[in-house]
Amino acid sequence: LRDNRIELVRASWHELSISVSDVSLSDEGQYTCSLFTMPVKTSKAFLTVLGVPEKPQITGFTSPVMEGERMQLTCKTSGSKPAADIRWFKNDKEVKDVKYLKEEDTVRKTFTVSSTLDFLADRSDDGAVVSCRVDHESLNSTPQIAMQVLEIHYTPLVKIISSNSWPEEGQSIILTCESKGKPV
């Protein structure tokens, strides 16, 4: 092996060790160690290299969104090998009904994984935090997460509140008009 990333660690009659720095996907494959005796003895090992997924990105959100409009948020990550797992959460609660797409880059033998969250905007979603979580064995149980805070505009609800439910003749009464909408 002629590569300046490969270093001889130990060479003795009993052991030959090498180290490979800055490992890339092209380093994957079968490695053979030969002992030049009569007959020649060999030992083989297959090295599997994991592709680390890129930090996910959420696209498709335009702010603000009107209540009742359809929202399609897409989360995408590239470079994973094997394919990464994507999950969606809304305020830390997992959303299950999502579309999932896996595309293989046949040259690099890595995967681009995307998932689409499709729902109708509701006033209860205003201020909600939507997150996309990428899990992969190369991440050592520390998922990569992308987040998006939702801003939903909605028409006001109006109500009149009376200071006295059953006013009597001659009493004062205060009527308050209350409205809740976004924008205010």
Cβ neighbors of 38 (< 8 A, separation 6 or more) are none
CA-based nearest residue to 81, from 57, 48, 55? 48
pLDDT tens, position by position, 23-79? 999 999 999 998 888 899 999 999 999 999 999 999 999 888 999 999 999 999 999
Query: Greater confidence, 117 or 165?
Result: 117
The model's pTM? 0.79
DSSP secondary structure code for residue 107 in this structure: T
Looking at 1-5, 14-18, 37-41, 53-57, which range is the least confident one? 1-5
> What are the residue ranges spanned by the domains of the chain?
6-47, 54-153
| pLDDT for position 15 | 87
Q: Write down the residue that tokens 């999950």 correspond to.
A: 87
pLDDT given for residue 157 in this prediction: 92
Report DSSP letters for 27-87, one per residue.
Answer: G-EEEEEEE-SSS-EEEEEEEP-PBPPPPPEEE---SSEETT-EEEEEEEEEEEBS--EEE
Architecture of the structural domain at 54-153:
Sandwich (2.60)
pLDDT tens by residue, 88-146? 999 989 999 899 999 999 888 899 999 999 999 999 999 999 999 999 999 988 999 99
Kindly state the average pLDDT of the residues 82-89. Answer: 96
Gap between the Cα atoms of 177 and 150, Å rounded: 28
Instruction: Give the pLDDT confidence score for residue 23 in this predicted structure.
Output: 93
Q: What are phi and psi of 136, to 5 degrees?
A: -160, 150
- Assess contact for 73 and 90: CB atoms under 8 A: no
